[in-house]
Amino acid sequence: MNTAVEINASLGAGADSPTHAVVHAAVVGATGYAGCELLTILARHPAASVTCLMSSGRAGKKAFAIEDSHPKLRGHFSVLCEPLDVDRLINSGSNVVFLATPHETSHQIVPQLLENGLRVVDLSGAFRLKDSAAYTQWYGFDHTAAEALAEAVYGIPEFDAPAIAKARLVSNPGCYPTSVLLALAPLLKAGWVDVAAGIIADSKSGATGAGRKPSDKLHFPEVNENLRAYGIFHHRHLPEMLQELEVSRKDFIFTPHLLPITRGILTTIYARLSPQHGIGDVEALFKEFYAGAPMVRIYPAGTMPEILGVANTQFADIGFALDESTGRLILVSTIDNLGKGAAGQAVQNMNVMYGFPQQTGLL
């Protein structure tokens, strides 16, 4: 029993309007990896109830038990998983819909969900970029849901919880951007980094980050005992990082690599610190920035987090080292790509949207 349990207990104890104490959640994209993690978290969440499971890739199929897709979930849910049907979703009695769907699907159905009074946490990239023209360039489709895009809130609770609390549509960040933004934002917002000297984010991700659809590149023997860089200079998560960091493409390089592991991202970030700041300043800045943030853990100066520390958790861990003679700063940022990089962050957003402590159900 720890803090989370006490929170959970207080949630139940203090609720004088029990019908509102429980959020009814729908998960669309339940058969994917982020869907499985959402369900794993929600099964333990003291204030959420899963009322609807849908799968966007099974049009015309019959409803099925979710354990047929995720054996791990056997015995947890009695509600069946249905093919995506927007009308049924709207009428499912859900308060909030988690979309762990392809971005095309999210782009298509979000407006209708919002119109019908559902709140949405979208885990796809469909509403992350404020500039709709960027979708044509980076995602290859023309964005037509202008109103929804305009109101979408980019959902990192550590950055802007008040906006998330009010949002109807939260756009859940990409896994790579989450690992990069959490580490860089405090320093950039403080103006402590010499941006023009260039920032490099060298990321390494486990294979679930690429989804559950089989392909040549994700075939077991092609990933195992291998490491591969990809999307050099043009990965789809790049514009999202530039937008949130407010830096230009010439000053920021992002290189993702595919690790032979199931879960986890480690990003190694290289930047030049403005000369007047020492390692103690950096530590103090991080501690202050994340003082009220239960899901971010700052490591002592010089001690670096590793993937094992966050895999199968919902935390982000951040470490840093500084070569004081040259101002060279190295940050190491780790998350579980399915946790804080996807489902954990989505539920954290839901917690903020419904006024629960951020860590509810996540410890």
Residues 134-153 that bind a copy of itself (CB under 8 A): none
Instruction: Restricting to residues 311-340, name those near a copy of itself by CB under 8 A.
Output: 311-313, 315, 317, 321, 323, 325-326, 328, 330, 332
State the Cα–Cα distance between residues 124 and 48, nearest whole angstrom. 22
Can you tell me which of 34, 304, 318, 350 binds a copy of itself, judged by CB under 8 A? Answer: 304
Beta carbon nearer to a copy of itself, 100 or 109: 100
Instruction: Restricting to residues 184-243, name those near a copy of itself by CB under 8 A.
Output: 197-198, 200, 202, 204, 206-208, 212-216, 218-230, 232-233
Catalytic-role residue among 36, 52, 81, 175: 175
Instruction: Restricting to residues 27-56, name those near a copy of itself by CB under 8 A.
Output: 33, 42-50
Instruction: Restricting to residues 274-293, name those near a copy of itself by CB under 8 A.
Output: none
State the Cα–Cα distance between residues 264 and 307, nearest whole angstrom. 6
Report helix angle 175-189 to 238-245, nearest 10.
20
The sign of the dihedral angle between the CA atoms of 191, 192, 197, 199 is negative
Instruction: Give least dist CB 95 to a copy of itself, A.
Output: 13
Instruction: Give least dist CB 325 to a copy of itself, A.
Output: 7
The sign of the dihedral angle between the CA atoms of 260, 265, 268, 269 is positive
Instruction: Give least dist CB 307 to a copy of itself, A.
Output: 5
Can you tell me which of 108, 112, 132, 268 binds a copy of itself, judged by CB under 8 A? Answer: 268
Active site residue 36: no
**Residue position matching structure tokens 């780790």:** 334
Token pair, residue 283, equals: 């530590």
Edge-to-edge strand ranges of the sheet holding 228-229: 228-229, 252-258, 199-205, 265-272, 328-335, 316-323, 296-298
Taking CB under 8 A as the rule, which mask of x and - marks residues 57-76 in contact with a copy of itself?
A: --------------xx-xxx
Binding residues for a copy of itself, rule CB under 8 A, total: 91
Can you tell me which of 108, 112, 132, 262 binds a copy of itself, judged by CB under 8 A? Answer: 262
Instruction: Give least dist CB 107 to a copy of itself, A.
Output: 26
Asked if 168 is part of the footprint of a copy of itself (rule: CB under 8 A), the reply reads no
CB 240 within 8 A of CB 249: no
The DSSP line for 57-123 is T-TTPPPB-GGGT-GGGTTT--SPEEE--HHHHHTTT-SEEEE-S-HHHHHHHHHHHHHTT-EEEE-
CB 81 within 8 A of CB 115: no
Q: Among all residues, which ones are annotated catalytic?
A: 175
